[in-house]
Amino acid sequence: MSNGNMKYKVYHVFQHIFKWLLAAVVALIVLIPVYWIFISSITPSGELFKSPIDYLPDHPTLDSYEFLIQNVGLLDKIKNTVIIIGFTLVISTVICVLGAYAFCRFKNNKAISLAFGFIIATMLIPEVVTARPLYEFMQKVKLYDTYPGLIILYISSVIPFSVLILRNFVSEIPESLEEAAAIDGANFTQRLFYVVIPLMKPAIATVCIINFINCLNNFFTPLYYSNGIQVLSVAIVQLPLRDNMYGVPWDLTSAMGWIILLPIIVFVAIFEKQIMDGIMAGGVKE
């Protein structure tokens, strides 16, 4: 074997080792907290802060999960979450697909460009800035603590990201396809619904998946703009206090954390490829 070949092989072996080491370190950084949350969720409250630390609980128990199922109204919260997210995804997708098409194809129109800029700019506004006026507004229009009110707020929160991704995706669809359809006699609506939107399906799927995860994680909106309609993400701050009112129930908090995390982990594991493909397709421009 020549010297050059040997060096090349050694270089590749080291490159391989480095990649795996880096991946392992990053994975550990991400997974250790998740592991710790899980361990805490199955450890009795009295053993949570033992010293020295137990990396595996001495007396594992599912008491925390049992307590949550019996006392926190999980099924009701899941039902509310499904209703709100379901409507949000359907309505926001329709709005965003149409909007993205308009923003892409008619970008030379100053008013349309301005509208796009306005929508993207709202991504930069912290929720805290609009919280109080919006709270009063929602009350005045009788949308506070209602399904329609929450759905509108959820939709408004997913629109900027969705439009951004979908618009970039539309820009990669050659206009010549629409021109060919026009020559064949298709009108504007037909071109939109029979040519462009079918080609956008992968991006639409990706946006739906990402929006689903974001909606599931959305804590601020349901906490602030509803009282009676409670969703899964808010449950983590509605756990019973310990008897002196100062102790945080870390065992229950961890169990609730896992209940919220689990569907997201499963969802991402199943649709990981679509999520990455969609982000790359929509987020990267030549």
Give which of 34, 30, 63 is closest to 47, Cα–Cα: 63
| Window 153 to 172, contacts with other proteins (CB under 8 A) | 153, 155-157, 159-161, 163
Q: What separation, in Å, do the N-terminal and C-terminal C-alpha atoms of the chain show?
A: 42
Q: Does 212 bind other proteins (CB under 8 A)?
A: no
Q: 1 or 129, CB closer to other proteins?
A: 129
Contact flags string 86-105 toward other proteins, x per CB under 8 A: ---------xx-xx-xxx-x
| CA–CA gap between residue 159 and residue 92 (Å, rounded) | 7
- Burial (Cβ within 10 Å: 0-12, 13-18, ≥19) of residue 227: exposed
Q: Does 66 bind other proteins (CB under 8 A)?
A: no
228 lies in the site for other proteins, by CB under 8 A: yes
Contact window for other proteins (CB under 8 A) among 24-32, 40-48, 82-90, 198-206: 40-48
Contacts with other proteins in 109-148 (CB under 8 A)? Answer: 109, 111-112, 115, 118-119, 122-132, 134-136, 138-142, 144-145
Give whichever of 5 and 70 is closer to other proteins, judged by the CB atom.
70
75 is written with which tokens?
A: 């099924």
Q: With binding defined as CB under 8 A, does residue 244 bind other proteins?
A: yes
Identify which range of 17-25, 66-74, 79-87, 263-271 contacts other proteins by CB under 8 A.
66-74
Contacts of 222 (CB under 8 A, 6+ apart): 84, 150, 229, 230, 231, 233, 234
Check residue 220 for interaction with other proteins (CB under 8 A).
Answer: yes
Residue (206 or 211) nearer to other proteins, CB: 211
CA distance 126 to 118: 15
Residues 16-35 binding other proteins (CB under 8 A) are: none
What is the rounded CA–CA span in Å between residue 141 and residue 136? 9
CA-to-CA distance for 42 and 46, rounded, in angstroms? 12
Q: Judged by CB under 8 A, does residue 74 bind other proteins?
A: no
Closer residue to other proteins, CB minimum distance, 152 or 209: 152
Task: Note whether 278 binds other proteins by CB under 8 A.
Answer: no
* E strand spans, the chain: none
* CA 271 to centroid of chain Cα atoms: 12
Among the listed residues 33, 60, 86, 240, the single contact to other proteins using CB under 8 A:
240
Residue in 32, 237, 264, 280 binding other proteins, rule: CB under 8 A: 237
In the complex, minimum distance from the CB of residue 133 to other proteins, in angstroms, rounded to a whole number: 8
Regarding 188 and contact with other proteins (CB under 8 A), the answer is yes
Q: What's the count of helices (H) and strands (E) in the chain, helices before strands?
A: 12, 0
Q: Which is nearer to other proteins, 9 or 79 (CB)?
A: 79
CA distances in angstroms from 29 to 22, 23, 25, 201, listed in the order given: 11, 10, 6, 35
**Distance of closest approach, residue 286 Cβ to other proteins, in angstroms:** 25
268 near other proteins (CB under 8 A): no
Token pair 């149409």 is found at 98
Q: Identify the DSSP state of 194.
A: I
